[in-house]
Chains A and B, each alone.
Chain A
Amino acid sequence: MRYHTAASFEEAVAIAAAAEGVTRFLAGGTDVLVQLRSDVVTPDDLIDIKHIPGVSEIIRADDGGWTIGIAVPGAVMGEHADLCRDWPGVVEGMELIGSTQVQGRATLVGNLCNGSPAADGVPALMTAGATVSVVGPNGSRTVAVQDIPTAPGRISLSKGEMITAVHLPARAEHAGDAYLRFIPRTEMDIAVVGCAVNLRLDGDVIIEASVALGAVAPTARLVPAAAEALIGSTLDDAALSALAEAASAACSPIDDKRGTIAFRTRVAGVLARRAAGIAYDRAKGASA
């Protein structure tokens, strides 16, 4: 394995594009190193991207939108009061990944690019309408987060391409998001089911909504039918029931060591209801 330290995105892309074997970018390393140590993936070229200027910054643009650097660890996101105020669901999804120690290293983009259907950082990015900037040998592009994962362990980036930043839109008034996951313990597990809800209110009525589920399909995914169940409602019991039903209906999970099909399908609906309740309270002004 060759270890490279890139000083710019251009350099990182050039190394990756020229590499012939397995390439990995190293930011927090909490997946890359685990895979390396357990002989799952031993990269031929490992490109440390933490020395690229700007990758450790969280920037709020004049329009209120956010840009999160690709080497910002979860702990730093959690310590950023303004980001937490605007996108509590995004931050709490990220902060659920691993231990305090892992939070000191793990990044949103690493979580996204690992391609796990159970990635806790991803569903709330999807419901937030987040995008990522991608550069590669053939130029740059902007991609919606939901278009990045394609299958377990697979993403849509091509050889030599890398993500350079995560963008969150400006936070509207009277809006809130939330992410919940189900794990058997209280910490340290991979999500058996994850659910993010983002919504905006006019008075008590939900006028915009987005719902995403994790760990119940080959990728985390948006569930438009679940969002539909919320829009126009005041999060009354009927809406919550319809939400849960839509969320469960959107599941195509597997039986594995972490949970069963029946369990995941049922609990997806439960989490959708609970996450919607939290997001609704936040939109009404409750603090995270």
Chain B
Amino acid sequence: MALDDRKTDGFKYIGTRPNRPDGLDKVTGKARFGADASASGMLHGAIVRSPHAHARILKIDATRALALTGVKAVVTRADFATGLTGEDADLLENVIAGEKALYDGHAIAAVAATSALIARDAAKLVEVTYEPLPHVTDVDAAMQPDAPIIRADAADDSVPEGMHPNVVRYMEFGRGDLEAGFAEADAIVEQTYKTEATHQGYIEPHACLAQLGADGRGELWCCTQGHWFVRRMCTALLGLETSQLRVTPSEIGGGFGGKTTVFIDPIALALSRKASRPVKLVMSRSEVLRATGPTASASMDIKIGMKRDGTITAASGVFRLQGGAFPGAPTAETMQCAFACYEIPAVHEVGYDVIANRPKQAAYRAPGAPMGAFAVESALDELCRELDLDPIEMRLKNASREGTRSSFGPRFPRVGLVETLEAAKAHPHYAAPLGPNQGRGVACGYWMNWGGETSVSLAISEDGTAQVTVGTPDIGGSRASMALMAAEALGIPYENVRCNIADTGSLGINEPTHGSRATYASGLATIESARQAIGKLCERAADKWGIDAEAVIWEDGCAKPSGPNAGEFPPLTIAEIAAEMGSTGGPISGHHEATPNGHGGSFGTHLVDLEVDPETGRTTILRYTVVQDAGKAIHPAYVEGQFQGGAVQGIGWALNEEYIYGQDGRLQNPIFLDYRVPVASDLPMIDTVIVEVPNPGHPYGVRGVGETGITPPLPAVANAVATAAGVRLRHLPMTPPRILAALEQKAGG
């Protein structure tokens, strides 16, 4: 795409904070989310789930369930496509078990009935005979020679000979002379760090309403981050032609990566096909926690060498990630992001993707990055303490900047890490005094962002207003951002733009709202669509004036002659041109489709002050500041919101959130009572500083901002705890029992 007319300042609408267009619906209860739809003749579905972590399924007997009044259909694996390979095979295996249940909560069968209560009762009447098998849920245990084999054929050729079959992928990269680098160091830290699996924790459970006929044509309404993904996955799993399923996205009640895949949608479609009626399927919270994607758990060995002046001389890391019973843990992303913040002459990384008897991991905000950041930024903090270095100065000394070669190969284009560090250093937070038992932590983080397949249309209406049609669900205010960019490009008021989220029948393929791509990629395509429409508007004016189109310019929503030589004509407003478009050549629209790849990464630096109660090990967050590069903040309030939300999810991961499995391999905390996400009273205000180092790959300089913010909090909080309590915790979450045990160990020895 042409970025020759990039614009980075002098904006009229970009950078303002107008009300979001969908605000009214969302504060009045009118907005329709996944579970809010219904259809004539609708049935309700319920899913039978495995109580075992690992078991062979010997028999499924639905006789009693089918005998219950109101039950219309039962489906099992036999009702889905056969012969799938690769990721589709894994996806189907996760959606509904085949020969074995692979984790507690794994779907085995499903029921459709005339009410939700009858469906739930019927699900309890489906008799499944299991042969329990040995299980393993911990990543390190799953790699041991005596670990039970979960799936014998899941590994690919990347895995070296002799490794346990639970190791399913292996990766390695690096450069430079590691030995020489460590020899040059004045201090070396070498430690093992662990993080537990956490869940995205969106408040809206997965929900859908499906209708599929015997003719192979279907309609699906669901809450998703990406309905083209849903369409592709569902049709593959059901053996349908892709275009015959139309997927309409509901409003979405949070996703954070967890709604980029399918869990219940194919089951609802299968039930609908079997019962010949629409089927609504809504997950309970415990189903969400037991059987949708949490993130991976990780175990990591980090070694970093540093000179007395703070220069990093060498670094190595071994990353073991467990992503459930299927390949796909974000090991590569962990490795790419772990050392991304720093220029390191010698670096070497090894990664393992390991399977265990847990639900298939799904993307969670900067998937993989927080774990690696926790390990590396903690290790750097340990070095700063040993060498008595200021943590921001040390980071400035080594910070990645334009031209820095990353550990994984490419050199960075213009990036804003240095600017975030300078802003953090200058922030009053960094100089504020601390009290007893209090500590301050600093950490940086990175997410590479994403572009992805994108298709956007923009049409001018008869009154000169505009509609933008995008394919990326609005998960946090993106309609406002699209409308702002369209308004800016067209030179018309923000209120004159309406942004619609299209169904799969209305646009070409769009990747989900993931990878921090919506404002970047759909925004880029919106601007390009607007520019295309402007070209047509200018042509219409030129025709009217009888001059060349090249002699017409577009300014403030009007066509104007480009100069005195072009002729003397009064400006033609967009409304005037639009009013006549039917007779001047037909509808005026713009369309842009691309897979843009100039997304540029976003770096951030976080500061946290906290207090640890030395008698109970309880941590209280006192002050928090997020500094992050947004490239260009289209709607600053929603950029701040992304920073704040990411920080708080990271705080939860650092302190209290974790998947706890019992000896029996069952999830111990499948409700919000015990899966402890931060509540309002746990937190202070989250200060934000938006740094703007324009992204060369976007017409207005936008960088994705959604994900980076979850990355620094894990180490920042750990580093602050190390100061406040005088103990270094290398295992997240830092629950009060873990902190108190560390304090007692220190006191005792």
Contact = CB atoms under 8 A, between A and B. Distances in A.
Contacts of B617: 263
A189 B740 CA distance: 19
Given A263-B736, A263-B737, A182 B673 contact: no
B286 A186 contact: no
Determine the main DSSP class of A at the interface with B.
loop
B679 A267 contact: no
A20 interface: no
Contacts of B398: none
B500 to A, nearest CB: 36
A270 B124 CA distance: 46
B76 to A, nearest CB: 21
Contacts of B656: 184-185
Interface string A205-239: 00000000000000000000000000000000000
A258 B741 CA distance: 15
Contacts of A260: 737, 741
Given A39-B124, A260-B737, A270-B616, A185 B679 contact: yes
A151 B91 CA distance: 45
A192 B617 CA distance: 13
A141 interface: no
A257 B669 contact: yes
B616 A186 contact: no
Contacts of A192: 736
A188 interface: yes
Contacts of A186: 679, 681-682
| Size bracket of the A interface | 20 to 34
Given A39-B124, A257-B668, A184 B740 contact: no
Contacts of A251: none
B674 A184 contact: no
A187 B655 contact: no
Contacts of A256: 668
Nearest to A98: B673
Contacts of B311: none
B673 A189 contact: yes
Interface in A252-288: 256-260, 262-263, 266-267, 270
B666 to A, nearest CB: 11
B740 A266 contact: yes
Contacts of B736: 182, 184, 192, 259, 263, 267
A38 interface: yes
A188 B673 contact: yes
Nearest to A270: B615
Interface in B674-727: 674, 676, 678-679, 681-682
A172 B671 CA distance: 43
Contact of A184 (B286, B671, B676): B676
A199 interface: no
Interface string B646-671: 00000000011000100000001101
Nearest to A264: B737
B198 to A, nearest CB: 14
Given A259-B737, A260-B737, A185 B616 contact: no
B618 interface: yes
A257 B737 CA distance: 11
B584 interface: no
Contacts of A189: 673, 676
B242 interface: no
Report the contact-size class of chain B (Cβ under 8 Å from the partner).
20 to 34
A38 B290 CA distance: 14
Contact of A257 (B616, B674, B679): B674
Contacts of A257: 660, 668-669, 674
B618 to A, nearest CB: 7
A136 B737 CA distance: 44
Contacts, number: 59
Nearest to B668: A257
B679 A188 contact: yes
Interface string B266-301: 000000000000000000001000000000000000
A190 interface: yes
A188 B672 CA distance: 9
A256 B668 CA distance: 9
A182 B616 contact: yes
B562 interface: no
Contacts of A182: 616, 618, 736
B735 interface: yes
Nearest to B735: A184
Nearest to A267: B616
Nearest to A274: B615
Candidate in A187, A256, A267 with the most chain B CB atoms within 10 angstroms: A267
Contacts of A258: 674
Nearest to A193: B616
**Residue in A185, A192, A270 with the greatest tally of chain B CB atoms within 10 Å:** A185
Contacts of A39: 124
Contacts of A259: 736-737
A12 B80 CA distance: 51
B673 A263 contact: no
Given A257-B660, A257-B674, A187 B615 contact: no
Interface string A46-85: 0000000000000000000000000000000000000000
Nearest to B671: A38
A187 B674 contact: no
Nearest to A255: B737
A120 to B, nearest CB: 13
B660 A184 contact: no
A38 B286 CA distance: 9
Interface string B17-37: 000000000000000000000
Given A257-B660, A263-B741, A270-B615, A190 B673 contact: yes
A248 B617 CA distance: 17
A185 B682 CA distance: 6
A134 to B, nearest CB: 30
Nearest to A273: B615
Nearest to A38: B286
A262 B745 CA distance: 12
Contacts of A184: 618, 655-656, 676, 735-736
Contacts of A263: 617, 736-737, 740-741
Interface in B590-635: 615-618
B81 to A, nearest CB: 32
Contacts of B741: 260, 262-263
Nearest to B670: A38
B678 A185 contact: yes
A186 B621 CA distance: 11
A195 B519 CA distance: 51
A187 B736 CA distance: 15
A182 B737 CA distance: 11
A192 B736 CA distance: 10
Contacts of A262: 737, 741, 744
Contacts of B737: 259-260, 262-263
Nearest to B680: A187
A260 B744 CA distance: 14
Nearest to B619: A184
A1 to B, nearest CB: 10
Interface string B40-84: 000000000000000000000000000000000000000000000
B370 to A, nearest CB: 20
Contacts of A190: 673-674
Nearest to B681: A186
A247 to B, nearest CB: 13
Given A38-B286, A186-B679, A192-B736, 16 more contacts: A182-B616, A182-B618, A184-B676, A185-B656, A185-B678, A186-B681, A188-B672, A188-B673, A188-B679, A257-B674, A259-B737, A262-B744, A263-B740, A263-B741, A267-B615, A270-B616
9 contacts: A39-B124, A184-B655, A184-B736, A185-B656, A188-B676, A188-B679, A192-B736, A256-B668, A257-B669
Interface of A: 38-39, 182, 184-190, 192, 256-260, 262-263, 266-267, 270
4 nearest CB pairs, A to B: A263-B737, A186-B681, A257-B668, A270-B615
